[in-house]
Structure 1
Amino acid sequence: MEVRPSLPPALTHLNELAGNLHYSRSRAVRDLFDRVDAVTWAQVEGNPVRFLQLVPQASLDRAADDSAFLAELAAAWRGFEEHCADQRVGALDSVIGADATVAYFCAEFGFHESLPIYSGGLGILAGDHCKAASDLGVPLVGVGLLYRQGYFQQCIDAEGRQHPRFEDLEFSHLPIRPATRGSAPVEVRVEFPGRMVTAQVWEVRVGRVVVYLLDTDVADNTAADREITHRLYGGDRRRRLEQEMLLGVGGVRALRALGIMPSAWHINEGHAAFSILERVRELTRDGLAFDPARHAVAAATLFTTHTPVPAGHDTFAPDLIEAHVQPFLADLGVDAPTVLSLGTDPAHDGKHFNMTALALRGSRQHNGVSRVHGTVAAQMSQAFWPEVPAEENPLTHVTNGVHVETFLNRDLTRLFDATRRDWRNHLHEAGIGELVERIDPARLWSMHLSAKAHLVDDLKARLQRQSERFGEAHVRLKQRCRVLEQPVDDFLMVGFARRFATYKRAGLLFRQRERLARLIETSPRPLVFVFAGKAHPADEPGQALLKEVHELSADPRFAGHVLLIEGYDMGLARRLVAGCDVWLNTPEFPMEASGTSGQKAGINGVLNLSVADGWWAEGHDHREGVANGWSISPTPGAADRDVREADDLLTLLETEVIPLFDRREAPADNVPEGLPLEWIAWQRHAIATILPRFNASRMVRDYAERHYRRAIDAGRLLAQDGYRAARARADVEQRLATHWAGVEGKVISAPGSIMRQGDSLTIEIETTSPGLPPQSLRCEAVLGDGAFRRIVVGELIESTDEPIRGRHRIQLPEDLAGEVDYWLRIVPTHETLLHPYELGRMVWL
């Protein structure tokens, strides 16, 4: 039996605040619940919905009679209303347009630990994307799945073995509600082989953004189908395919059932790529041919790829795909091989249906999530545009960022509020780093030590729970916590928390164990390395890494200096990124697409010690006398890369990190114990350089301005006049497939080998293109190579129809000097292009 309290009228707003994940980013809102009853708040682990179901009536009654509390509640409510207001400074409504909506599809969303439907970085990034969209007024709706058992809860036994624990979520305990249209709950049905599967639609409110989640655990379905949405990334290949069909096809149908007609579609990783087929099916069912429909859909679609790791790109057996798309073929008007061809990866054997390939072919804009990753992803995808150099193909990048208010520690949030009340509206501006430039060093250090002390208390409590479950003697726990018992300003804490995937190399620190042991023994300040993270239940090498760290934590040389903390989630992550002194990241270059935990650490003044991969390759800022962390140069291709990079890691710790932390100012007035002033200067520099560049507001602004607006315009262009431009685009691609091999060009005139400044630098080219009008071709000159590269576009100056010839003129720029190399080429062009080389054809002369 559960006896629930009645909410006093004076506290009505608490119920509304609990039902909106605005609380996940607002400390002011979370603090309200803690003020009402700290014991219950700790018991429910920060879940306000469950809190209001379990809190004693007496606690609510006291709060209702507390004028100071009511004033705080009123202030938090005003802040929530202001956040959800239609007009706010810096909003992007005008960029997107009042009549447009962006649909954002993702397999997981990480908003807060109270809604555990995420596994790691992809989901938390998606959650931050939605929060920033709400901040900026981007008219965005999210689409995902509601997992009855989430990912898994992690338990590590006394031998270091990970045990996944799956428990059903009680939806009435979560900040979700059934989605309705009018008063009727919304359900959708999706065809699966031999049956229909029904999904209920739920909604999650995140500020002013709504995310819709599909759930198959409904009475209409068979027992097997009710389990489609039970576990995130669980089950066999068939179950994974069923989840992705539901997400893509069912997600589109859910939006239609709700009356939402997006103008732009963002597919966040390939899991949702079947949304492309469903949208094509909608058009073909209404009479548009398959190829024009495919181009119309692609024009309004953006695809973001998040990893170069093969396991992150789902593939399925063709016969499994064929069985699942069979019910759609009649509406699509094509055969199964045509659909299967959309998922063929030309760089591989073609024996699998690749979701990334489907997403690339079904979108016209594509991006990686850091500068390094954009380059790597373009190289990986080069076979989709085989005649175009990888560095010029359409796959670009938008570097990830983090939602600042979600991960910024409490004291820094209060400092920013006191320094500049509207700082949240200006995160995309370079000058926002000035928030910390004038702060007193002693105050900044005190705020860091406060966050570190909170982390230490949490770690000790977690270690005690682990020790009790292991049945260990108290002396073992005491040994494990011996460094944590020392003053927090005295020991250096290094954090490593993320998925335990092998490419992230959690064990790199331990490659030279004797040297690490000597470093720990001789360090002038105690060292403690804190590890946390989950390995996928099917990832045996990742679980072996967890076991290795656990065993090392019990090694007498490392006991108390190496800690493995179980149960990694967003709550622990927030404490770690705020309270550690150094954030360690050791991925195998170039496998870290972005990585955002280091960004979260950096905005809190935690210094990064990382391989120069992902975001850190562009984020590391080292100036004379100050930096925002340390960078380990990767050695890709070297047979002993792990040995080299482990050596560099330990060398940096020994010669730079530890000495910088150890240097303290001599005791002075008002600073009796001295301060690590150089370290504090680096902390300030970390916040000032990372905060403006790597926040989610900047990221979403980039997406809106570079991609969403263009997708909206392109989608509308191809849909105009009965899809005239979509039909024209399909015709052009068919002509190119038939006639491109016959395109030729010859140089009619060009500058001599020696030219004088002021001479005319003109090149004329004659093209021959049977089956292709000269107007569909563009001639270009590519000047220079390497870091210096300029492309000069020519113009068509005359053409003939019989034979089909064109004369093109390229006027080279007047500012050329010295030796200049140039190359000439011909590419196709069309009015529908969003990228000059997206047609994938190129002839070099």
Structure 2
Amino acid sequence: MEPLVRVPVAPGAHFHLPPALEGLRRLAYNLWWSWHPRTRILFSRIDAAAWARYRNPVPLLQGPVQWDQLLDNPAFLAEYDDLLREFDAYMANGTDHWFARHHGEALDGPIAYFCAEYGFHESLGIYSGGLGVLAGDHMKTASDMALPLVGVGLLYRKGYFRQTIDADGHQEHAYPDYELARLPILRALDRLGQPLTVRVQLPGRELFAAVWVVQVGRVPVMLLDTDVPDNDDSDRPITHMLYVRGREMRLHQELVLGVGGVRALRALGLDPAVWHLNEGHSAFLLAERARELVAAGTPLNRAWPEIRRNSVFTIHTPVSAGNERFDGDLVRRVAGPLLDGDGRPGTGGVPMAAVLDLGRGVDEDPSQFDMTAFSLRLTTGANAVSQLHGHTANATWQGVMPHDILGITNGVHTPSWVGQPVRDALERWTNADLDLMDDQPAEGRFWERVDKVPTRELWEAHQRQKLELAIFARGRLRSQFARHGEAPSTLEELEEILDPSILTIGFARRFATYKRASLLFSDLDRLARLVWDPDRPVQFIFAGKAHPADRPGQGVIQDIFGRSRGSKLRNRVFILEDYDIRIARFLVQGVDVWLNNPRRPLEASGTSGMKAAANGIVNVSVLDGWWDEGWTGDNGWAIGGRETSPDEGAQDWADAQDLYRILEQELVPAYYERDAQGFPARWTQLMRNSIASTIWRFSTTRMLHEYVERLYVPAARAAAEPEPAPAEAG
């Protein structure tokens, strides 16, 4: 099978491999390894210390390796051969998958997916949180389903900030400086075999962006990078940092993403059948496509409907205030030379007055350019990321959009998030194949057979994942507290914390104030009685970052850290710093309960609870986002109800009281109840219900089935229809 979408690339970093192991290079430069555990184990066998340090095969293979020992190891060579065959078969296969069989003729080109961030693996830090991790899961699942898709994003050489929390609880920010030669990325080549660079016209100058490629299984993801010698020193940092604070710098980033992304695709000869904007950050791709049509002779009043026909948009924020907006004068000054035109090739034809008019938000403020409003007006289909969010979004954007916003609930890439012990149990007792969920006949619907997993086996698999979390968290806390100057006796205490026999509740997400991370601490005395109950103790683990500009969110972190070190809660409440994909994996696999208590209806979806549920973790959440449709009554608990008070203080108090009630009267007793054999039969049934009700329904496989049938195929068909008669120019 030919590659679904082929982007030519230059060779990677130079490192020597024995000829018999040359296939390791292919494995290292394809993130397929990030969701196939046997491949990661193979790399760790080459050099366990280097793998533990980097968690990335490229610097591991660049270092000194005892190849002679490996070449004399039959077990290693057999595993290498087996994995390489499996990888090559994966890359060559795909014609028998669901998309190819049901919709293979529907698209005459790839789907181009634009997003400002991608979370594939902790070793490639070009993500901040949920949006990026969802985009990464979208790419992995598109690969597993053999969808013809190409991703477009930005290469942040300094990534998103690394978080430390000082001894007073203050969040501190440090930006890494990634050495590209040590990352699993390759330089894209143009059709002449030269390194691909695209240009974007800015006021008085040309901006150059190099194009890199991350290969995610079958899916290439192109990343644009402005830190190249052709640019002025003042322009090279444009793509350095994700979600940079400065509004003008952010606008430059989004011009590079939208305009530069279109030009990179064109330079490679790729003609997408569908253009997918994941959030409004890439909205300028719509203006660039209109500019292309006008330059080819299409009147502007025909160009807008033409680009609309095969463009789709995903909105991720429930209220208009949370969407990306820029001052109109700033947009006119920065984008005007490109869109209005200043006589240079590749500019002009799209008057800024028309662009700004299409970007009017729900408040009709002519001084603001709303990227979401612009995207909604110029796409043929749009979706929210849960059913509740769909209702909220339609109410918010009524009058702006020319169509209803669909509800396509988010999902997670199950192979990336289910822990190996639980996965082994599912495979053994239900014949689950998490790598092939894309077209399950009746006998393959393993989630309908989860009740077959014995109580003892499910509980022991969970306890193993819980022990792994405890060991990992103790090490992270030891490093954290040692940096604070804690005494050796305090560090020694950490060996006894996070006892796996104690009910463990996790809370991990961005520390925005509406997520109410401090709700649990509304009544400290009541909470202290709960956690220190001599017969049924409870412990809590928190993790998450606040944006560097979000002072109130940072205040929440400081407050929780302070309480965790106070006498009432010390050694029962913990906060882990520098939340990333790796910490997330340990948490969603290893806690007993996943807590989420946002202020309804401000959580568009949330996916961390889905990841936890797929591992049998029980959710306790406000009925917001995905949990509003995911809660079945027997797979977890709902905090409060679906009616909310306009008085936020009163709502917070009511939700806190209900949370305490659930914990004290229902959840804690259920967890500690044991059967005659000493196992928590009632609790493990909750775990089974959690898995059965979520592992398919909230997977990215189900999600992509919906994207294909409700957005991608309809958009491709609309683009193939005869053009409608143009409206009269006004």
Q: What's the CA shift string for 1:148-177, capped at 9, x where partnerless? A: 100011111111111110121000110100
**1:630 Cα deviation after fit:** 4.2
Matched, 1:475 2:480: no
Matched, 1:267 2:296: no
Matched, 1:225 2:221: no
Check the 8 A contact 1:303/1:366 in 2, yes or no: yes
2:635 to 627, 641, 648: 627
Distance (Å, rounded) in 1 between the aligned partners of 2:388 and 2:567? 40
Distance (Å, rounded) in 2 between the aligned partners of 1:177 and 1:605? 38
Aligned equivalent of 1:748: none
Matched, 1:351 2:367: yes
Q: What's the CA shift string for 1:352-397, capped at 9, x where partnerless? A: 1110011011111011000010111111101215xx9xxxx51111
Check the 8 A contact 1:426/1:432 in 2, yes or no: no
Aligned equivalent of 1:794: none
Distance (Å, rounded) in 1 between the aligned partners of 2:307 and 2:484? 56
**1:69 Cα deviation after fit:** 1.6
**1:82 Cα deviation after fit:** 2.5
Distance (Å, rounded) in 1 between the aligned partners of 2:100 and 2:513? 42
SS in 1 for 2:620: strand
Aligned equivalent of 2:378: 362
Distance 1:82 1:559, change over 3 A: same
**Structure with greater proportional strand content:** 1
Distance (Å, rounded) in 2 between the aligned partners of 1:311 and 1:74? 54
Kindly report which structure 2 residues correspond to 1:729-744, keeping only aligned pairs within 5 A, or say none: 729-731=726-728
**1:526 Cα deviation after fit:** 2.2
Kindly report which structure 2 residues correspond to 1:249-264, keeping only aligned pairs within 5 A, or say none: 249-264=259-274
Distance (Å, rounded) in 1 between the aligned partners of 2:470 and 2:566? 21
Distance (Å, rounded) in 2 between the aligned partners of 1:49 and 1:595? 32
Q: Which amino acid aligns with 2:391?
A: T
Check the 8 A contact 2:198/2:263 in 1, yes or no: yes
**1:497 Cα deviation after fit:** 0.8
SS in 2 for 1:57: coil
Aligned equivalent of 1:550: 561
Aligned equivalent of 2:712: 708
Q: What's the CA shift string for 1:760-803, capped at 9, x where partnerless? A: xxxxxxxxxxxxxxxxxxxxxxxxxxxxxxxxxxxxxxxxxxxx
Aligned equivalent of 2:31: 21
Kindly report which structure 2 residues correspond to 1:181-192, keeping only aligned pairs within 5 A, or say none: 181=190, 182-192=192-202
Distance (Å, rounded) in 2 between the aligned partners of 1:61 and 1:629? 56
Distance (Å, rounded) in 2 between the aligned partners of 1:364 and 1:645? 39
TM-score when normalising by structure 2: 0.93
Matched, 1:698 2:714: no
Q: What's the CA shift string for 1:32-91, capped at 9, x where partnerless? A: 1122222221111x111111123x422x33222211122222222222223222435433
Aligned equivalent of 2:313: 303
Aligned equivalent of 2:112: 103
**1:400 Cα deviation after fit:** 0.2
Distance (Å, rounded) in 1 between the aligned partners of 2:77 and 2:321? 51
Distance (Å, rounded) in 2 between the aligned partners of 1:70 and 1:312? 53
Aligned equivalent of 2:324: 314
Distance (Å, rounded) in 2 between the aligned partners of 1:147 and 1:189? 18
2:682 to 660, 675, 678: 678
Distance 1:159 1:480, change over 3 A: farther
Range 267-276 or range 423-432, more displaced = 423-432
Distance 1:334 1:242, change over 3 A: closer
Distance (Å, rounded) in 2 between the aligned partners of 1:274 and 1:9? 47
Check the 8 A contact 2:111/2:273 in 1, yes or no: yes
Distance 1:645 1:478, change over 3 A: farther
Check the 8 A contact 1:483/1:491 in 2, yes or no: no
Matched, 1:42 2:52: yes
Distance (Å, rounded) in 1 between the aligned partners of 2:32 and 2:112? 20
Check the 8 A contact 2:384/2:393 in 1, yes or no: yes
Distance 1:524 1:705, change over 3 A: same
SS in 1 for 2:517: coil
Range 181-190 or range 307-316, more displaced = 307-316
Distance (Å, rounded) in 1 between the aligned partners of 2:534 and 2:603? 31
Aligned equivalent of 1:425: 436
2:507 to 484, 496, 500: 496
For CA contacts below 8 A with separation 6 or more, give which structure has more relative contact order.
Answer: 2
SS in 2 for 1:118: coil
Check the 8 A contact 1:90/1:426 in 2, yes or no: no
Matched, 1:339 2:360: no
Distance (Å, rounded) in 2 between the aligned partners of 1:533 and 1:12? 40
Aligned equivalent of 1:211: 221
Aligned equivalent of 2:618: 607
2:69 to 43, 59, 62: 62
Distance (Å, rounded) in 1 between the aligned partners of 2:212 and 2:350? 34
Aligned equivalent of 1:830: none
Distance (Å, rounded) in 2 between the aligned partners of 1:531 and 1:159? 16
- The percent identity for this pair of structures is 44
Q: What's the CA shift string for 1:659-700, capped at 9, x where partnerless? A: 011101134xxxxxx100111111111111100100011111
Kindly report which structure 2 residues correspond to 1:127-142, keeping only aligned pairs within 5 A, or say none: 127-142=136-151
Distance 1:37 1:629, change over 3 A: farther
**1:416 Cα deviation after fit:** 4.1
Aligned equivalent of 2:405: 395
Distance (Å, rounded) in 1 between the aligned partners of 2:321 and 2:246? 14
2:129 to 111, 114, 120: 120
**1:596 Cα deviation after fit:** 0.1
Distance (Å, rounded) in 1 between the aligned partners of 2:597 and 2:569? 20
Check the 8 A contact 2:310/2:719 in 1, yes or no: yes
**1:426 Cα deviation after fit:** 2.8
Q: Which amino acid aligns with 1:616?
A: W
Q: Which amino acid aligns with 2:119?
A: G
**1:633 Cα deviation after fit:** 2.2
Q: What's the CA shift string for 1:99-128, capped at 9, x where partnerless? A: 321000000000001110000000000000
Kindly report which structure 2 residues correspond to 1:557-568, keeping only aligned pairs within 5 A, or say none: 557-568=568-579
Range 83-92 or range 131-140, more displaced = 83-92
Aligned equivalent of 2:170: 161
**1:423 Cα deviation after fit:** 4.7
Matched, 1:83 2:97: no
**1:523 Cα deviation after fit:** 5.9
Q: Which amino acid aligns with 1:511?
A: S
Pairwise CA RMSD: 2.0
Distance (Å, rounded) in 2 between the aligned partners of 1:545 and 1:57? 46
Check the 8 A contact 1:581/1:606 in 2, yes or no: yes
TM-score when normalising by structure 1: 0.81
Q: Which amino acid aligns with 2:165?
A: I
Distance 1:448 1:33, change over 3 A: same
SS in 2 for 1:600: helix
Q: Which amino acid aligns with 1:168?
A: D
Check the 8 A contact 2:410/2:698 in 1, yes or no: yes
Distance (Å, rounded) in 1 between the aligned partners of 2:80 and 2:639? 45
Check the 8 A contact 1:483/1:528 in 2, yes or no: no
**1:478 Cα deviation after fit:** 4.3
Distance 1:180 1:416, change over 3 A: farther
Matched, 1:405 2:415: yes
Q: Which amino acid aligns with 1:504?
A: K
Distance (Å, rounded) in 1 between the aligned partners of 2:225 and 2:468? 37
**1:11 Cα deviation after fit:** 2.2
Q: Which of 1 and 2 has greater Rg?
A: 1
Aligned equivalent of 1:51: 60
**1:309 Cα deviation after fit:** 4.8
Distance (Å, rounded) in 2 between the aligned partners of 1:279 and 1:415? 50
Check the 8 A contact 1:482/1:560 in 2, yes or no: no
Aligned equivalent of 1:442: 456
Range 285-294 or range 596-605, more displaced = 285-294
Check the 8 A contact 2:30/2:215 in 1, yes or no: yes
Distance 1:478 1:508, change over 3 A: farther
Aligned equivalent of 2:205: 195
Aligned equivalent of 1:636: 644
Distance (Å, rounded) in 2 between the aligned partners of 1:585 and 1:477? 30
1:618 to 624, 629, 654: 629
Kindly report which structure 2 residues correspond to 1:820-831, keeping only aligned pairs within 5 A, or say none: none
Distance (Å, rounded) in 2 between the aligned partners of 1:168 and 1:297? 38
Check the 8 A contact 1:492/1:526 in 2, yes or no: yes
- Give aligned pairs, total: 703
Q: What's the CA shift string for 1:259-307, capped at 9, x where partnerless? A: 1110100000000000000000010111111121000101100010001
Distance (Å, rounded) in 1 between the aligned partners of 2:567 and 2:362? 53
SS in 2 for 1:610: strand
